[in-house]
Structure 1
Amino acid sequence: MNHIDASAHYDETAFKTQVPSLLVVIVDLNPRAWAVLNSELPISQALANILVYINAHLAFGNENQVAVLAAHTNRAIWLYPRPPSDTSSQRSRDRDGDVDMNSDEPIRHSTNTADLGTSANKYPLFAQIESTIVASIRDLLAETTPADIEPTTTLMAGALSMALAYINKTSLAYEPAKASSDPNEQATAAVAQQKAPNLHSRMLAVSVSDSDPAQYIPTMNAIFAASHSRIPLDTLSLAGKPTFLEQAAYITGGTFLSVSSNPRGLLTHLMFGLLADSDAREALVAPTQDTVDFRVACFCHRNVVDTGFVCSICLSIFCEVPENAECLTCGNKLTLGNYGAKPAVVPRKKKKKKKLLNGAGREETGSATGTPIPAT
């Protein structure tokens, strides 16, 4: 009809495509923590709930993407998309690094038709993600040795760094091409891109263990990098006290939920509290934090403290005064002032005593006679 009468009946802005959303899920796979939580929430049930949450995120738009990371006790690995195996990437190569196409070794794909599931009621993309994540977790658990179970903490800082690097790489692919060489036009395009981003990114950390004080510095570096890039970090705590992740949710504008009292309601909290993206949350009432634990880890003993000494040059935090009052990071001489001196005792002022006159108390006025009483 528009081509016949040469008129526009519809607003083109209403048919613009939805801005794609990237969700990076970081799952805490600490074996000891999950063993303690097994009676209330087995890891298989928790993984099934997380897969439902991921499928719901992908169902919001065809261009939505997802990535899943596992934070183990001593390393962080990708669960989806799974990196190519060493056998497939290091097949027979010549000196120039090219793959020998005449090799008789068959090419191994990361997923095959059998991994995608045989049910006709399962969406192929959902089945592919499920099979890849399950296979990656099985390989991780099979490679876990008794020495890997000794640490009681999780390498969450490494997982956050890997997630931020993946988000940055994906965001670069969505940036428009710079066709003009004029710096003024490029600056205008950069301002327009900041107002209307081409990709909405966010992270979700499912934690089951306490925050490691030894990872305070790298964790805060990742948190401030996410805040500078406007990437919210949501945290769902099933057990333990993730102090640093609680601060991360507050600093980056994310949501922090602690369900340690009822971890069986994992799917409910995921779907109703953490499914909406940053744009949708502006029109919704998102869960808020009543109190935030702002304690930090000292740089000397890696203890979580609420009161300490801060260097004025490098902002290093110490739980006690270092030797010779010198900063252990930059060597600056700490000025302690009158710290450690005994407080001065201020004597109390004596109050004036009251005289009793005719059985009633009155303040002393210095008069020889009392106040006359009218006759009745």
Structure 2
Amino acid sequence: MDAISDPTFKHARSRKQVTEESPSLLTVIIEIAPKLWTTFDEEGNEKGSIIKVLEALIVFLNAHLAFNSANKVAVIAAYSQGIKYLYPESTSALKASESENKTRSDLKIINSDMYRRFRNVDETLVEEIYKLFELEKKQIEQNSQRSTLAGAMSAGLTYVNRISKESVTTSLKSRLLVLTCGSGSSKDEIFQYIPIMNCIFSATKMKCPIDVVKIGGSKESTFLQQTTDA
């Protein structure tokens, strides 16, 4: 009995106490310019890679939300014409969606029995990306290969900064995830070096780690590699 009262046992019991994780904001930057993904599919003899990526992204976002009820997500698209907040939608975008004649039943690929919080994110994301694809389809021949990824990263960090300041009662951890495809050895040439470096410095100052998922391609992105090393 004396052995049980030894400080070693007390220390072992105290180590089992679990501390609750702080809420986390995950901001995803996804590059969805059709020309980039089409080139990627052609080089790798693939088909519909962007759809597979979006399916995996939805599962990942749901997992993040499930990990903590206070977790938040945001998704920003970088496409040939600029950037767009996919989730959460702005107030003006919500009003525009309500005024449209097309209903969400046209895009109903999400299980209606899904947990409501997951479904809200998933349906909004799928619908907004569908709208972007329709917009890009009309202008695909005129679209340039100029990357808007730096602008999307800057917008993502701006959003992180705003949400962090609004969360005055809780400590909110933030993380940025950049998702792009590596189609071609000249991919680095279309990146804007100075804006991306500014994003790296800002993220470091904000203590917001940046992760990069670069799918395919024969050459590593020097610029994006620097973001993960910062």
TM-score (norm 2): 0.76
Question: Which structure 2 residues correspond to residues 163-174 of structure 1 after superposition, within 5 A?
Answer: 163-174=156-167
CA–CA distance in structure 2, aligned partners of residues 68 and 137 of structure 1: 11
Q: How far is the alpha carbon of 1:18 from its aligned partner?
A: 3.1
Greater RCO (Cα-Cα under 8 Å, separation 6 or more): 2
Residues 82, 136 of structure 1: 8 Å contact kept: no
1:128 maps to amino acid: N
Determine the C-alpha separation between the residues in 1 that align with 2:66 and 2:92.
29
Contact map agreement 2:24 2:71 (CA 8 A) in 1: yes
Q: What do the CA deviations read for 1:56-106 (whole angstroms, capped 9, x no partner)?
A: 1111100011001111123111111122346937xxxxxxxxxxxxxxxxx
Alpha carbons 2:35, 2:140 under 8 Å: kept: no
Determine the structure 1 residue equivalent to 2:145. Answer: 152
CA spacing shift, 1:214–1:17, aligned 2, 3 Å: closer
Match of 1:229 in 2: 206
Aligned partner (choices 179, 185, 190) of residue 206 of structure 1:
179
Q: Which residue of 2 aligns with 1:40?
A: 46
Partner of 1:60: 67
Partner of 1:249: 228
Partner of 1:124: 116
Q: Which has the larger radius of gyration?
A: 1
SS in 1 for 2:224: helix
Maintained 8 Å contact 1:207/1:239: no
Report the structure, 1 or 2, having the larger helix content: 2
Given that 1:207 and 1:237 are in contact with CA atoms closer than 8 Å, whether structure 2 keeps it comes out as yes
- How far 1:119 moved relative to its partner? 3.5
- 2-side partners of 1:116 and 1:200: how far apart? 32
2:192 is aligned to 215
Distance 1:154 1:219 in 2: 11
Unaligned 5+ segments in structure 2 are 1-13
Q: 2:131 aligns with which of 117, 130, 139?
A: 139
Q: 1:151, CA displacement in angstroms?
A: 1.8
Local SS of the residue matching 2:174: strand
Paired AA for residue 123 in structure 2: S
1:1-376, aligned counterparts within 5 Å?
Answer: 17-38=20-41, 39-40=45-46, 42=48, 43-85=50-92, 88=95, 108=99, 119-120=112-113, 122-144=114-136, 145-146=138-139, 150-176=143-169, 198-209=171-182, 210-212=187-189, 215-240=192-217, 241-251=220-230
Contact 2:145/2:190 (<8 A) preserved: no
Aligned residue number for residue 4 of structure 2: none
Distance 1:61 1:70, change over 3 A: same
**1:170-191 Cα shifts (integer Å, max 9, x gaps):** 1011124xxxxxxxxxxxxxxx
Aligned-pair CA distance for 1:41: 5.7
Distance between the aligned counterparts of 1:248 and 1:25, measured in 2? 14
Tell me the CA shift for residue 118 of structure 1: 5.5
Query: What is the percent sequence identity of the aligned residues?
Result: 32
How many Å separate the matches in 2 of 1:46 and 1:214?
22
Cα distance change of structure 1 residues 147 and 116 upon mapping to structure 2, 3 Å threshold: closer
Once the two structures are TM-superposed, the CA of residue 213 in structure 1 deviates from its matched residue by 5.0
Cα separation, partners in 2 of 1:124 and 1:214, compared to 1, 3 Å: closer
Contact 2:150 2:191 in 1 (8 A): no
Distance 1:148 1:171 in 2: 40
Question: Which aligned runs of 4 or more in structure 1 are off by greater than 4 angstroms?
Answer: 14-17, 112-118
Counterpart CA distance in 1 for 2:93 and 2:68 is: 33
Q: Deviations over 1:278-313 (max 9, x none)?
A: xxxxxxxxxxxxxxxxxxxxxxxxxxxxxxxxxxxx
Classify the secondary structure of the residue corresponding to 1:37: helix
Separation in 2, partners of 1:41, 1:21: 34
CA 1:40 to 1:166, structure 2 compared with 1: closer, same or farther past 3 Å?
A: same
CA offsets, 1:250-281, max 9 Å, x none? 11xxxxxxxxxxxxxxxxxxxxxxxxxxxxxx
Question: Which residue matches 2:10?
Answer: none
Answer yes or no: is the 8 Å Cα contact 1:31–1:149 preserved in 2: no
- Give the length in aligned residue pairs: 200
